[in-house]
Amino acid sequence: MTYVEGFVIAVPIANKASFIAHAEEFDALFVEKGASRVVECWAEDVPHGKQTDFYRSVAARDDEAVVFSWIEWPDKATRDKGMDAVMADPRMDMNNNPVPFDGARMIFGCFTPIVDMGA
């Protein structure tokens, strides 16, 4: 069954174009290493909550947008092997390829789907 890895990050609005370029390069690396699909979503209709919300989850500032992303893997074993390969790849060296966001505020986790409907 599919295995899903999800991410929420805050990206400076001024860095949107550089984020897209970064995502296109690095998302291809995940696919190269076994991911079935990678999706990056820029916040459009994301409400501010009274107790919690996406903005608070990543301590987003007024000049930042929330990005919600996920990687679909065929299964957990492929994800584990693929992520090991991604992290070992020299293209992931953040000294040579810094990310256009504050990675310390990223939230992420892996999930096993329990309901999957649609196309």
Model confidence over 36-51: pLDDT tens digits? 999 999 999 999 999 9
pLDDT value for 118: 86
The Cβ of residue 8 has, within 10 Å, a number of other Cβ atoms equal to 21
CA 109 to chain centre: 10
pLDDT above 90 (res 80):
yes
pLDDT-based confidence at 84, cuts 50/70/90? Answer: very high
pLDDT at 25: 92
Chain Cα centroid distance, residue 27: 9
CATH number of 3-111: 3.30.70.100
Domain ranges of the chain: 3-111
C-alpha span between 97 and 116 (Å, rounded): 35
Q: Are 32 and 54 in contact (CB under 8 A)?
A: no
Judged against a pLDDT cut of 90, whether residue 92 lies above it is answered with no
- Strand 37-42, strand 3-12: pairing: unpaired
